[in-house]
Amino acid sequence: MQNISKFSWLLPALLLFSACSHRYGGLTLYTVREDMKKQPKEVIQKISDLGYKYIEAAGYDNGKFHGMAPTEFKNYLHEKGLTPISTHMPTVTLDNADQLIADVKAAGFKYFVIPVPPMGHFKYDAAAKTISMSEEVETITDILNKIGKKCKDAGLEMLYHNHDFEFKKNSKGVVPMDYFLTHVDPQYVNFQMDLYWVTKAGVDPVAYFEKYPGRFIIWHVKDMDKQGRFAPVGEGTIDFARILAKKELSGMKYYIVEQDMTFDGMQAMQAVEISHKGLKKFGFK
């Protein structure tokens, strides 16, 4: 009995290790953003309970991630058996990049993700509810390279996240995504491929893996229903097994569940749970 008591302090650590060893997949907190505004720590606890392994943040404001200072956020995730992997930083500019990069590093993230064309080049039409971008692809590319170099110098990796508009030719006949992939410096900038938005654009993700191998370091995994709307993984029409078979070719190191909106009464946390189970259907580990 004395020997058991002597090592009893190990039990909590062993239980946490056992729980962590059965986790898989990532989740972006953008999916549960409304819940995160109300009870961030409780939501993170639920995500941990569902068995996710790593987290992408999507709520940076005034030096805090989802209302928590960088170190507090990192420590809380670790306490719950979750790893901070990436964070979306839509407000980055050449002027504030150094401070944002410092905060991202302090929070323990590996990837600094630019989710839309930065510095006024992203366009949103509220009346039409459409998103697009400026045609100044050369300028955007220059900005990405400069911020990407800052990230690398700080020990981070920078990724650009796509929607559908980057795959559409502009008035000059340029496909922005192709331009980015050809002209950004791969030692500074790579990509987070959103599989839903690629599919929405009528483009084959695998074709991009074949044309630009090794450039798509993180995937956003979300499904599309028959109406073209966002859907939980496994509840829609995207053939993730076919895409996953090309994981090595793509360069994918992490995959992250995302669902921008839910429909027909489904709650965000329900979608998160369904998607986590759905990942297994296609062989995600």
26 touches 255 (CB < 8 A): yes
Render pLDDT for 51-79 as a digit per residue (tens, 0 to 9). 999 999 999 999 999 999 999 999 999 99
Question: What is the full DSSP assignment across 171-220?
Answer: TTS--HHHHHHHHS-TTTEEEEEEHHHHHHTT--HHHHHHHSTT-EEEEE
Average pLDDT over residues 23-43: 98
CA distance 266 to 107: 31
pLDDT tens digit string along 177-210? Answer: 999 999 999 999 999 999 999 999 999 999 999 9
CATH of region 2-281: 3.20.20.150
- What is the rounded distance in angstroms from the CA atom of residue 196 to the CA atom of residue 222? 6
Instruction: Give the start-to-end residue ranges of the domains of the chain.
Output: 2-281
Length in residues, the chain? 285
Interval 113-126: pLDDT, tens = 999 999 999 999 99
Q: How high is the mean pLDDT of the chain?
A: 94
Task: Tell whether pTM > 0.75.
Answer: yes
Q: Name the pLDDT band for 20 (thresholds 50, 70, 90).
A: low
